[in-house]
Amino acid sequence: MTEPAPPEIRDEDHLLPRNVRHVRVRMHHTDLGGAVYHGAYFDLFEDARTEVFRALGYTYRDCVEAEGRLMIIVRAACDYKRPARMDDELAIAVQVDQLTRVRLGFAYEVSLTATGQSVAFGQQVFAFLDTRTNRPTSVPPRLAALVRKTPEFGLHPDGR
């Protein structure tokens, strides 16, 4: 028997697919020119990923305390398409583009909520360390299962 899918995420006044978060650009995200600073996108990716998983019932604390693993970033990239500016509302879609025994990769698409125009595309790949031994280990089983059962992540059946 399969478990029912969790409900869609309510993000402020929006009913969203489970893999999308909205964020309003704040002053601390911007540079002197008023555009989102290039490095701030990685914070936005982290916030979106963390909140998407929290809404699905999995937190970073679960990863560390319950499953004994640390997430270690091994690759990060971002392609910038157009600037986002102070007070713009952004939609950040989180996809899983890699799930192997030892790696978990995410792809992010950032767009302007008002127009749907693409702002940036990002990618991050994580490996995992055992919290007791500080040695490489596998993707946490509960996290891998959650990724596989959440179709909004867009994971190909073979993990690519």
CA distance 54 to 7: 13
Question: ∠ at Cα 82 (80, 86), nearest 5°?
Answer: 105
Helix (H/G/I), strand (E/B), else coil: 158: coil
Asked if residue 58 lies in contact with residue 138, where contact means CB atoms within 8 angstroms, the answer is no
The pTM of the full predicted model, rounded to 2 decimals, is 0.86
For domain 15-151, give the CATH superfamily. Hotdog Thioesterase (3.10.129.10)
pLDDT at 24 over 60: yes
pLDDT digits over 102-142, tens only? 999 999 999 999 999 999 999 999 999 999 999 999 999 99
> What's the confidence (pLDDT) of residue 158?
59
What mean pLDDT is predicted for residues 18-43? 95
Confidence label for 10 from pLDDT (cuts 50, 70 and 90): very low
Instruction: Report which residue type is found at 47.
Output: D
Decide: 55 and 6 in contact? Cβ < 8 Å: yes
**Domain extent listing, the chain:** 15-151
pLDDT for the residue 78: 98
- What percent of the chain is modeled with pLDDT above 90? 79
- SS3 sequence, 31-76? CCCCEECCCHHHHHHHHHHHHHHHHCCCCHHHHHHHCCEEEEEEEE
